[in-house]
Amino acid sequence: MRNGHKTGFARHLRRNMTDAERELWHHLRNRAFMGHKFRRQYPVGPWIVDFACPAQRLVVELDGGQHEDSKDAARTRGLEARGFTVLRFWNNDVFLQQGIVLAVILDALSTPSASRPPAGGQTSAGRPP
């Protein structure tokens, strides 16, 4: 995807956020989450990730029923190869387990990126990476 096209597509995604993305963005925007700067629909390599904290090399992805595990796994490996830690949550976790989702994100932000374990297991909210 050409960079200009990717930027335009990211802009489109920002204007058409899902309810779950909108809810999580409410907590992450404007450095409201413990002072960390998050970006939404942020281009990283060939992908556009849902949320990223570039300074902490952290990506947060929200997945609905349309996601394919094999594509998500390949995408996660690619992002990790670029030095990012990837957290994945189901959309309904944002609504039903919001406290846990936010705690997992905070824990990842509190852990120095060099000592973070690779995202190979499950997150506390139950979504495999």
Domain locations along the chain: 3-115
pTM, two decimals, is 0.75
Give the per-residue pLDDT at 4: 60
Mean pLDDT per 10-residue segment, the chain (129 residues): 55 68 91 88 92 95 74 89 94 94 94 53 44
**Nearest Cα to Cα of residue 83 among 51, 118, 108:** 118
Class of domain 3-115: alpha beta
How far lies 61's CA from each of 2, 4, 89, 90, in Å?
22, 23, 6, 8
- What pLDDT, on a 0 to 100 scale, did the predictor assign at position 117? 46
Whole-number pLDDT of residue 17: 81
Q: Kindly list the strands in the beta sheet with 85-90, ordered across the sheet, starting from the edge strand earlier in the chain.
A: 39-44, 47-53, 58-63, 85-90
